[in-house]
Amino acid sequence: MAANEVKGTKEPDYVVIESGKTTLRDLYTKEDWMAIWLGFALLIAGLLLFLPRPPAKMDENLAKYNATMKEEAAKAPFKTIAWNQASAAKKGIRATNQDFAKAIKEYLEAPSDWSVNPLDALYRSKATAEAMNAKGEEAYKKVKEAEEAALAKAKASEEAAAAAAFKDEALNKQAESDIKAWLAAKDKTSKAKRKVSNKPYNRFPYLLGLAVALAFFFGIGRAVMGDSFIRFFVGFFFVFILAVLAYMGETQATMKHWGFGFPLWAIVFGMLISNTIGTPRWVEPAVQTEYYIKTGLVLLGAEILFNKILAIGKPGIFIAWICTPITLIVTYWFGQRVLKIASKTLNITISADMSVCGVSAAIATAAACRAKKEELTLAIGLSMVFTAVCMVGQPAVARLVGMPEILAGAWMGSTIDSTGAVAAAGAFYGEKALYVAATIKMIQNVLIGVTAFGVAVYWCARVECAPGQRVSWWEIWYRFPKFVIGFMLASIFFSILDQSMGKDYSAVMIDHGVLRGFTRLAREWFFALAFTSIGLETNFREFKPYFKGGKPITLYIFGQSLQLGMTLLVAYIMFYIIFTEVTKNL
Amino acid sequence: MFALMPLAGYLPGAVTMGRVIDERDLRATAIYYTDLEESAEGAETIRDSLAYPPREMERGEP
């Protein structure tokens, strides 16, 4: 993102400078390339840590559970108890469940949840943990007994249906209904179990270790680029402490309920300092928004697995990959032609944030088109407010009109910006709605890669040009944000790896191994550092021009309304008219 | 903000939403699918449901 000052003129924000040249020195002196090397180093470390250590008997167990589901599916016209048990057991096979992965997580994990005392996020004594567990023990015993009773009833019903060779429809329906009741009881047990599984922790030494490790990691990169390692190292701890506080803002109970995550708090806390006492001079060398964000985006690239778009079959592709780009393009067009928003980068950042998937899309798009930090901040702020409203409002509307779970899940999954809020809204509506919503959002998340790449190319080739100017391929290459290459290469490599391993193996070793067990945790820290840096270098007054005429809010409301209507229509057509077979089996 | 936000709990639906988030230990602030366990659970449940769908009732069955 450009760190230049806000332009209050009607001139194009960026004009081509036809003097581009690139040298081999760029590979170790330019931030974009350094972000690629640092990101790749972590991805390689993740692969080396996880791939040689699959869970014991992984292949054997996966084959066993798949065989059980196949056998049970052929036996009965409903999902039997054994089918559900095999599916649940399969989900329990994760590379992240191993001891070494738990140790990595302990080092990289963000502060924990708290309600009243912020220190609870960093320290919990053994006595407190035991008291918390004792509090939930009775409720846990109760739901556990209810689950056992529900299982016994489901077993009896299934045996009765089996005795009639599964040819008696009434018995089949009874068995299916009792199995659903057992699954609901099982879900309650699992929720209650969390309340008796509290463990003591002391996060201070881990956070200190992480701060030192990250200061070295990024400091070495700065030193290679020609900056002072020592000055960066010293200032980094201040930025890191603010990032920890931002995480603590997120994990506070009420803020968590409303989906106000660390990006917002990092910016708020950073701005509180920069606009009151001022960012201390000794901290400035470590205030490196682009450096952190680009490295985080290279890691995010690995999480963009293209095979995920088939997760819910063809309806998912139509809903997430047809409605979303249409909304993005129409909203951007509306912003330029109707609202006449002066900054194209602000327009595309808000459009991508609103139509694709909130904060993560805003970060990737803003970096790809070199939007200003205030523009990214504004897009994220708008997204968080609208997300909080939609998270509560959409399930309420769906319930009011009696929307079926799958339709409601698809609608909420594609239209609520933030991934976490989608899951919350889905869970509010029901189990099936949750799974459909989270899966549709996952498919939409993958669009970030295409969006960022498309925006980067479009900006270099068309937007950053003088009117009527033709830009050579060499010029496009020169101006292309190079970190996007690392972002795309990481995505392509991990997508190929994911495809070649097979879905089950990849779910265990890549998704629940390298990604969720290592690089995702690092990526989140990098984004927290980036947003803290944004706050530390932003002046409140720089926002003033952007609020003129309330155009960003109008843009957001237009795009969101379009997406709400179009997605509902397309989801209905896909799930209830064209691909009814998929709907029936979900 | 920390002082004002609890007042929003009086909005209809907000309390239930808070309870759902707590009960499931959902990370409502997740910014990407990998930040959320439910997206993996959902995708895997759907994958199993589509890969191993229960057989249809045979013809002639009531």
Give mean pLDDT, residues A247-265.
91
Of the candidates A488, A501, A404, the one whose C-alpha atom is nearest the C-alpha of residue A450 is A488
Tens digit of each residue's pLDDT (9 = 90 or more) over A123-159: 999 999 999 999 999 999 999 999 999 999 999 999 9
| Res A580 pLDDT > 70 | yes
Tens digit of each residue's pLDDT (9 = 90 or more) over A272-324: 999 999 999 999 999 999 999 999 999 999 999 999 988 888 899 999 989 99
For residues A464 and A441, the model is more confident at A441
Tens digit of each residue's pLDDT (9 = 90 or more) over A41-85: 999 999 999 999 999 999 999 999 999 999 999 999 999 999 999
User: Residue type at A468?
Assistant: G
Tens digit of each residue's pLDDT (9 = 90 or more) over B3-60: 555 556 666 677 888 888 888 888 999 999 999 999 999 999 999 999 999 987 654 4
Q: Say whether A69 and B48 touch across the interface (CB within 8 A).
A: yes
CB-based contact, A428 to chain B, within 8 Å: yes
**Of B17, B48, B50, Cβ closest to residue A313:** B50
First to last CA, chain A: 43
Question: pLDDT value at position A545?
Answer: 82
pLDDT bracket for residue A4 (50, 70, 90): very low
Chain A CB contacts of B9 under 8 Å are: 254, 257
Give the chain B residue nearest A176 (alpha carbons).
B54
Chain A CB contacts of B33 under 8 Å are: 303, 308, 419, 438, 441-442, 445
Is there a contact between A175 and A157 (Cβ–Cβ < 8 Å)? yes
CA-CA distance, A364 to A377, in Å (whole number)?
13
User: Residue type at A48?
Assistant: L
pLDDT bracket for residue A21 (50, 70, 90): low
- Give contacts of A 235-264 with B, CB under 8 A: 250, 252-263
Shortest distance between the Cα of B22 and any Cα of chain A, in A, equals 8
Q: Say whether A357 and B22 touch across the interface (CB within 8 A).
A: no
- Rounded to a whole number of angstroms, the CA Rg of chain B reads 20
For residues A110 and B11, the model is more confident at A110
Distances (CA, A) of A135 to A140, A212, A454: 10, 38, 53
Give mean pLDDT, residues A551-564.
95
**Of A79, A90, A360, Cβ closest to residue B32:** A360
Identify the weakest region by mean pLDDT among A382-391, A560-569, B12-21: B12-21
Give the chain A residue nearest B33 (alpha carbons).
A442
Is there a contact between A314 and A582 (Cβ–Cβ < 8 Å)? yes
| Res A96 pLDDT > 60 | yes
Give mean pLDDT, residues A218-242.
97
Distances (CA, A) of A494 to A45, A498, B40: 14, 6, 17
Query: What is the overall mean pLDDT for chain A?
Result: 92
Tens digit of each residue's pLDDT (9 = 90 or more) over A498-542: 999 999 999 999 999 999 999 999 999 999 999 999 999 988 888
| Res A15 pLDDT > 50 | no
How many beta-carbon contacts under 8 Å exist across A and B? 207
Question: pLDDT value at position B11?
Answer: 67
Residue with tokens 């379009």: A562
Shortest distance between the Cα of B16 and any Cα of chain A, in A, equals 8
Question: pLDDT value at position A110?
Answer: 93
Tens digit of each residue's pLDDT (9 = 90 or more) over A346-368: 999 999 999 998 999 999 999 99
Question: pLDDT value at position A5?
Answer: 40
| Res A497 pLDDT > 90 | yes
Q: Say whether A435 and B45 touch across the interface (CB within 8 A).
A: yes
Chain A CB contacts of B52 under 8 Å are: 66, 69-70, 72-73, 83
**Of A172, A358, A434, Cβ closest to residue B38:** A434
Give mean pLDDT, residues A95-107.
96
Q: What is the DSSP string of A501-567?
A: H-HHHHIIIIIIIIIIIIIHHHHHHHHHHHHHHHHHT--GGGGGGGGGGGHHHHHHHHHHHHHHHHH
Question: pLDDT value at position A478?
Answer: 82
CA-CA distance, A369 to A463, in Å (whole number)?
9
| Res A468 pLDDT > 80 | no
